[in-house]
Amino acid sequence: MSPGFRLPSAVVAAVLRCRGCGGLNNYGGIRAGKVARCGLCRVALDVSGKLQGIREEELARTVEGSPVPVVLLVWDPADPVCRTVAAALERISARNLGAMVAVAVDVEVHPEFPRSQRIETLPTFVLYRAQAEAGRFAGVLEETPLARWILAGEPPVTVH
């Protein structure tokens, strides 16, 4: 078991997804420097903003339980383009910790996932707001429009 993460001082309200059990934790008002642990399984919560791998059967629970936007990246970590957009999404997630939940499906590990979700292009982002799918974006999306889409619901414009 790794030592507990500590919340950065800037965090005042946070919905954090547990890497251990997938449960969503509401840490509104937590004091800086306090180790945050999952209320369900007591695993120390990851406050790095890093993408969390998710299985198809876990996705509905996360989407339906989340009061904040959930963004799913369907990607192949071996593909440099996918790695680039994943890095951008992690930066957004780290800056907006608690205001969004970022999860990812690695198609090498879950090759059946794209077909079951009717996804034909990698990378593909799927955004969920208010417990339902709000939109998809296939291809490269730059960091600023990606952040605006996730956090403000501004639909991204495809640039040719």
**Dist CA 141 CA 3 (whole Å):** 35
Nearer of residues 44 and 107 to Zn ion, judged by Cβ:
44
Nearer of residues 14 and 126 to Zn ion, judged by Cβ:
14
The three-state DSSP-derived secondary structure of 18-52 is CCCCCCEEECCCCCCCCECECCCCCCECCCCCCCE
Nearer of residues 51 and 126 to Zn ion, judged by Cβ:
51
Residues that bind Zn ion (CB under 5 A): 18, 20-21, 23, 38, 40-41, 43
CB of 114 to Zn ion, least distance (A): 28
Q: Specify whether the CB–CB gap between 64 and 22 falls below 8 A.
A: no
CB of 58 to Zn ion, least distance (A): 12
Nearer of residues 22 and 123 to Zn ion, judged by Cβ:
22
CB of 56 to Zn ion, least distance (A): 19
Q: Specify whether the CB–CB gap between 69 and 135 falls below 8 A.
A: no
CB of 4 to Zn ion, least distance (A): 13
DSSP codes, 62-77 = HHHH-SS-EEEEEE-T
